[in-house]
Amino acid sequence: MKWSHFIQAGITHINDICYEVIPGFLPESCIVKIIQEQISEISSRDIRKYYNKLLSIMPENWKHIDCNNVYEKGEYVSNFFFYVEIQKFDFSLCTTKMFYKMLIQKLFQPPVSN
């Protein structure tokens, strides 16, 4: 068993071993399942040993930040703009309604009848 097996199974960041919605780390059984789906010849005992080692060497403040979703939020500045004729639009501020109207105006062509 090596740390590369975690990486090969897609466990590369702390949040890969955390629940998505609720605070806390995934149980050993989930980690065993994730790794054994990719590399079946590894024993669950070895995976559990490495997982517990990972949790024990992780700084406490990392555990708090990642598993309790305590992040510092900064202001997001969009880098995506698009133009319709001469008007500039910030992509992050557009609504579905705006996109739909632009789509209809720009892409819809009435059928040509014979």
Task: Domain of residue 7: give its range.
Answer: 3-67
- 52 inside domain: yes
What DSSP assignment string belongs to 3-38? HHHHHHTT--SGGGGB-SSSSSBPPHHHHHHHHHHH
What DSSP assignment string belongs to 53-106? HHHHHS-HHHHHHHHTT-----------EEEETTEEEEGGG--HHHHHHHHHHH
- What proportion of the chain, given as a percentage, has pLDDT over 70? 81
The predicted pLDDT at position 4 comes to 86
- 72 inside domain: no
- 73 inside domain: no
Q: Are residues 11 and 59 in the same domain?
A: yes
Does 28 score more than 90 pLDDT?
A: yes
Q: Which two tokens stand for residue 107?
A: 């892409």
What would the pLDDT profile of 12-21 be if each residue is shown by its tens digit? 888 888 887 7
Q: Are residues 16 and 60 in the same domain?
A: yes
Q: Are residues 84 and 48 in the same domain?
A: no
pLDDT mean across residues, the chain: 79
Domain boundary residue, one of 67, 88, 105: 67
Q: Are residues 89 and 110 in the same domain?
A: yes
- How many domains, the chain? 2
Q: What average pLDDT does range 77-97 have in this prediction?
A: 76
DSSP 107: H
The predicted pLDDT at position 48 comes to 93
Listed as own residue / partner, the contacts of 82-90 with beta carbons closer than 8 Å and 24 or more positions apart are none
